[in-house]
Amino acid sequence: MFEVEFRGPISDRKYVELKRFLLDKGRFLGRKSRFLIDYSTFCEGIRERKTDVRARVTDGVPEMVIKVGGWGACDERKEILVRAEKGGFLNVVEAYAALGYKRGMSAFRFMENFEFDGVVFALVEIPGYGFYFELEVVVENEVEISAAKEKLGKMCGLLELEVWGDEGFFDFIDQLNKNVNKVFDFDVHGKDLVGFMESVGYKGE
């Protein structure tokens, strides 16, 4: 399975317009809160990475996530996802630490998810900072990737959505890492993981 994704910025006004359209024409899939630790920032960096290694907790459900493939504004990657039982996020973080992943960039987000015409939309809120969108199509094999990208491109044109170029996307991530996200260090924060999560706004685990 491959995730084909397009990402781009949206203003507060465009967020309202897009949400109204999706509520009217699409299907609401739900609202999620997510805390994550992105270990790859301190392994391969942002621009060079080919493997994305993360610990996540989504609405209280812990997840080990590895995505294989180049990362950018428009990408296609294979996702490997393992879910743990609720309340087990510390076990996930400890497992990564035992494998040598101790430092990562943490982030907290809200997401409102919709489906429209076979495309999953995520309207992502960075609390106190702003919004961006992600469009996703999941395909079975690499042969289907080109058609999925064409579908997403047409959807962005239809809805007048600006898609980042890779450098614009990486600059956006750089700004988030400087101004919003927070460095997690297992040796420093591992003893009070819940307290650390609460310090960046997450209240679920």
Instruction: Give per-residue pLDDT as tens, 49-91.
Output: 899 999 999 999 999 999 999 888 888 999 999 999 999 999 9
pLDDT less than 50: residues of the chain: none
pLDDT of amino acid 75: 87
Would you state the CATH architecture of domain 2-198? Beta Barrel (2.40)
With a CB cutoff of 8 Å and minimum separation 6, the contacts of 111 are: 31, 32, 33, 34, 122, 123, 124, 125
Q: Are 141 and 76 in contact (CB under 8 A)?
A: no
Q: Which helix (H) or strand (E) holds 96?
A: helix 89-98
User: Would you call 178 helix, strand, or coil by DSSP?
Assistant: helix
pLDDT of amino acid 205: 56
Phi and psi at residue 15, to the nearest 5°: -60, -45
pLDDT of amino acid 150: 95
pLDDT of amino acid 48: 87
